[in-house]
Amino acid sequence: MTRDEVIQKLREEMKVSSTEEADWDAVGAETTIESLGFDSLSILDLIYDVQQAFGLSFDAEKLVDVRTVGDLADFIQKELDA
Amino acid sequence: MPDDRRAVVTGLGVVCALGVTESAFWESLLAGRSGIGPVTRFDAAGYRTRVASEIDDAALGPALKARKIRPTDRSVDIGLLAAAQALESAGLASPDRAPEPQEVTTIFGTGAGPSDSAFAGTRSFLERGLAGLRPSTVPTVMINAVSAQISLRYKLRGPNWVVASACASSTAAIGQAFRLVRAGHAERVLAGGTDAILNPLAFGAWNNLGVMSANPDPDTACRPFDVDRDGLVLGEGAAALVVESLAAARARSAAIRAEILGFGESSDAEHITRPDPDGQARAIAAALASAGLRPADVGFINAHGSATPANDTCESDAIRRVFGAAADRIPTASSKSYFGHTLGACGALETAATLLALAHGLVPGNRNLHHPDPQCAIRLVGRAPEAVSARVAIKNSFGFGGHNAVLVLGRFED
C-alpha cells in the first residue's frame, strides 16, 4: 500500500468518526489530527477504527508522537511492513 | 448571611421530553402537555411497561450540533447540553466562542451513569469477544463521564465529580453546591443531573422490578397521588444550574434568578427499595433547619411524587409529620406526570420547575389527578395550574438505598 493509498483510506475512517465539518477532500499529510475534531476520547475510537480497517493490532501508547495525518500514515505503513 | 455565603442561581438548563429549552419546558408544564409516549428507542414488545418519556431527537440533534457536542453516550450528551444551556444563560459560555478556562466546580448527579454505552459494550463483547471492546470504553462508561466531559468541554477547572444516590442524586448534587458556597469553599458551581436508560437491558431490569406502570395509555400512565396510580413511568432527562455566591454574581452583574436557602439529607437505614416516612421527614426537617425557616414559612412543595403506590402515601405521611396542620394548606404537586421519572436527573429538572413556579407565581398542576388518594392527606394542587404567592418552596427527592435529599428554594430578595 502506498502512502497516498494509506492516507486515502485514513481519510475515509476519519470522516466516519469525526463530527467536525472539515473539507475532507483537502485533508492531506500535513493536516493535524486535532484540527479534524478529535479529542482525547474520540482519538481512542479512531485508533480502534484504524486497527480494524488495516487489520493491525498495536499499542495506542505508540502513537504519542503522531500529530499529523502523514505521521499516522507513516506509522501504519511501518506496522504493515513489520 | 454575608453576600459571599449566600448561594444564588444565575443559570438554568433543561433537557427532557417536554423540550430542550427552558421556554418549551415551562410552556408544556403550564399547558398540561405530557412528554410520555410509546417506547421507540428499542422494541418494547413483550415488556410489561411500554411507555416512557423520550427526548425528541429532532430537537436534540440540532441543539447538540450547534454546540459541536460529539455524541458519546446519551446520558452524557444531554448532560452536556443542559450544562451548556446553564452556562450560556448565566453568561459564562456562548455557542459562538471557544471556552476560556474558568474556576467553576462541576457536580452532577446520575443514578445509572452511561447506561446505553455499558449495554452496547457488553453486547459487543458477548458477540465479538475482546475485539468488540473499543479502547474508549472505560472513559465512555465511567460513572463520572458526564462531569468529566462538561469540565473538558467548557474548561471548568474546579473539581468535577458525580453524586450517585439513585433518584436523589441531582438534588444532592445541588445541595453539595449550596454547601460549598455556604462554607466559602467555592464561588461558582455548575450542578445538575442526568440519566438516560431507555435500552432493553436497563429498562428490562426496571420492568422486572415491578414498580413501573403497566398502563399502556401514555397520557394517563403516570398519576402521582391518584388512588388509581399503578407505578412510575421512566424518562430521560438532564438539567443544570449555575450556583454562585451572591457576591460573585454581583461582581459580574449577573441576573439572579433565585436563591438556594437550605439543604437537608438523611438515610432511612431501613430497606433497600421501600421508602420510610421517618427518614424522609428527617431530611425535610434538616433542610428547613439549615435554612433557618419554620414549616409555616413554606408556600409550595414540589414533591418527589413518583406515582408508585408506596412512595406517594409515604411522602404524604412524611410531609404531615413535619408540617402538621400546615400540610392542609401548602400546595403540593409532582412534576413527574409531565416528563416521567428521570431518575438521577429528576431533582434538577424538578428544581428548575420549582424555580420557574416561584418566579411566575404559578404552580403547574398535578396532571392526571382525578381521584386523590385519601391516604395522601395533604393539600394537593388540582390538574390545572394554580396561582401561588409563595416566596419559599421545598423540593423533595428520595432514592433507592434510602437516601433522602431536600432543597429549600426561594425567590431572590435583597
- Evaluate if residue B251 carries a pLDDT over 80: yes
Residues B34-65: tens digit of each pLDDT: 999 999 999 999 999 999 999 999 999 999 99
Residues A56-66: tens digit of each pLDDT: 988 878 888 88
pLDDT band at B227 (very low <50, low <70, confident <90, very high): very high
Q: How many CB pairs under 8 A join A and B?
A: 29
Distance CA B74, CA B296 (A): 41
Distance CA B46, CA A80 (A): 49
pLDDT of A19 reads 66
Q: Specify the number of domains making up chain A.
A: 1
Beta strands in B17-131 (DSSP E): 36-38, 51-53, 105-109
Q: For testing the chain A interface, which of B65, B70, B128, B141 should be mutated: the one with the most A CBs within 10 Å?
A: B70
CB contact (8 A) between residue B134 and residue A45: yes
Residues 41 through 60 of chain A touching chain B, CB cutoff 8 Å: 41-42, 44-45, 47-48, 60
Q: Which of A33-37, B149-153, B203-207 is predicted least confidently?
A: A33-37
Contact list in A for residue B71 (CB cut-off 8 A) is 19
Is residue B283 located within the same domain as residue B369? Answer: yes
Is residue B181 located within the same domain as residue B275? Answer: no
Of A15, A40, A21, give the one whose Cα is nearest residue B145.
A40
Residues B298-322: tens digit of each pLDDT: 999 999 999 999 999 999 999 999 9
Q: Are B67 and B95 in contact (CB under 8 A)?
A: yes
Give B143's contacts (C-beta < 8 A, 6+ positions apart). B110, B113, B114, B162, B164
In a domain, B306, yes or no: yes
CB contact (8 A) between residue A44 and residue B72: no
Give the structural domain span for B238: 7-251
- Evaluate if residue B342 carries a pLDDT over 70: yes
Is residue B267 located within the same domain as residue B391? Answer: yes
Residues B123-142: tens digit of each pLDDT: 999 999 998 999 899 999 99
Is residue B102 located within the same domain as residue B77? Answer: yes
Residue of B nearest to A18 (CA): B70
Choosing from B251, B279, B310, the residue where a domain stops is B251
- DSSP secondary structure code for residue A15 in this structure: H
The CA distances from residue A62 to A14, A76, B318, in Å, are 19, 11, 59
Q: For testing the chain B interface, which of A14, A20, A21, A44 should be mutated: the one with the most B CBs within 10 Å?
A: A44
Distance CA B251, CA A70 (A): 49
pLDDT of A10 reads 92
A54: CATH? 1.10.1200.10
Distance CA B366, CA B381 (A): 6
Give the structural domain span for A7: 3-81
Of B396, B49, B376, B55, give the one whose Cα is nearest residue B233.
B49
- Evaluate if residue A16 carries a pLDDT over 90: no
Residue of A nearest to B64 (CA): A19
Is residue B206 located within the same domain as residue B305? Answer: no
Find cell 468535577 and name the residue.
B160
Considering only CB atoms, which residues of chain B are within 8 Å of chain A? 65, 68, 70-72, 134-136, 139-140, 149, 152
Is residue B225 located within the same domain as residue B275? Answer: no
Q: Specify the number of domains making up chain B.
A: 2
Is residue B193 located within the same domain as residue B213? Answer: yes
Interface ipTM: 0.81
pLDDT of A29 reads 93
Is residue B177 located within the same domain as residue B278? Answer: no
Cα A32 versus chain centre, distance = 10
In a domain, B163, yes or no: yes
In a domain, B256, yes or no: no
Is residue B85 located within the same domain as residue B107? Answer: yes
The CA distances from residue B228 to B308, B372, B378, in Å, are 10, 9, 17
Distance CA A79, CA B178 (A): 54
Q: What percent of chain B has pLDDT over 70?
A: 100
Q: Does A16 touch chain B (CB under 8 A)?
A: no
What residues of B act catalytically? Answer: 167, 304, 341
